[in-house]
Amino acid sequence: MIERLGGTVTEVWLARDLHLGRLVAFKILSDSGLADPEAKARLLAEARLTGNLAHENVMAIYDYGEVDGRPYLVMEYLGGESLRVQIHEGRTGDLRAKLAIARQIASALAYVHSKGIVHRDVKPDNVRVDEWGGVKLMDFGIAKTDDLSVTGAGFTVGTPYYMAPEQIRGEKPAHLVDVYAFGVLLFELLAGVRPFEAQSVEEIFDLILNQPMDLAPLAQAGVPQGLVELIRELTSKDPAERPRNFSAVIHRLDLISA
């Protein structure tokens, strides 16, 4: 181990693979996580879900197992910084650079969905951007497939600001919750602010469920109308009104950036 990178329920360490000499990220259940059976189940589920994924915009999992009863993952070490930091510091570049980031995230999600996986926690914190603008989608800790779930029926999981209305209501997660979350992320990437702000989770949920999204910050940021309309569709409260898949989203982004 070289240094601790962070984490609470799980700890993430920078380490070196002694066989190949490469740097890796080593994720292992912490003492507090070990006392939580669901935390252990989530980490094992993440390993099973992502161990066979291979896409240039998805963080790679090299190995997983258990040591002293603690599950662990050996993951691709990602340099750069989170998209959250870049947005906060206004370093996401011009419109073309932002669209390039968005397209890579959409490409990652199209691939993940093709494998039957719903990420359920798409947000800037779970996107890593390197110095050349390369993007990696990460953290599948609450992802779900049709045949695997580590949460009880009706249990709400996700990050409040990016959760779709049906996700808040505890409905069975479908791929369109990721479409909604991507729309919120795209709003934030282009406008520099979240579409909703509130003082409590309850207030956030009320805004998402009952209030129309204010798209004015996008116009104020000079976002082209075609992109504004795309975000309106992505974040529709009615899942049936959203684009059906990320192939359609990528096509729209390509038309706008052409």
Other Cβ atoms closer than 10 A to 195? 21
Q: What's the CA gap between 126 and 5, in Å, rounded?
A: 15
Q: Which amino acid is at 157?
A: V
* Interacting residues of 31 by C-beta distance below 8 A, sequence separation 6+: none
125 is a catalytic site residue: no
Other Cβ atoms closer than 10 A to 112? 25
What residues are paired with 73 via a beta bridge?
27, 64
CB of 82 closer than 8 Å to CB of 135 = no
Mean pLDDT over 122-150 rounds to 79
Percent of the chain with pLDDT over 90: 57
The predicted structure's pLDDT at residue 220: 95
Q: What's the CA gap between 8 and 115, in Å, rounded?
A: 29
CB of 95 closer than 8 Å to CB of 256 = no
The pLDDT tens digits of the residues spanning 204-254 come to: 999 999 999 999 999 999 999 999 999 999 999 999 999 999 999 999 999
User: What is the SS3 assignment for 61?
Assistant: strand
pTM: 0.88
Say which of 31, 63, 121, 146 is annotated catalytic: 121
Diameter over CA atoms, the chain: 56
The pLDDT tens digits of the residues spanning 53-104 come to: 899 999 988 888 888 888 888 988 888 899 999 999 999 999 999 999 999 9
All domains of the chain in start order, with CATH: 3-76 (3.30.200.20), 81-257 (1.10.510.10)
DSSP per-residue codes, 108-169:
HHHHHHHTTEE----SGGGEEE-TTS-EEE---TT-EETTB-SS-TT---S-GGG--HHHHT
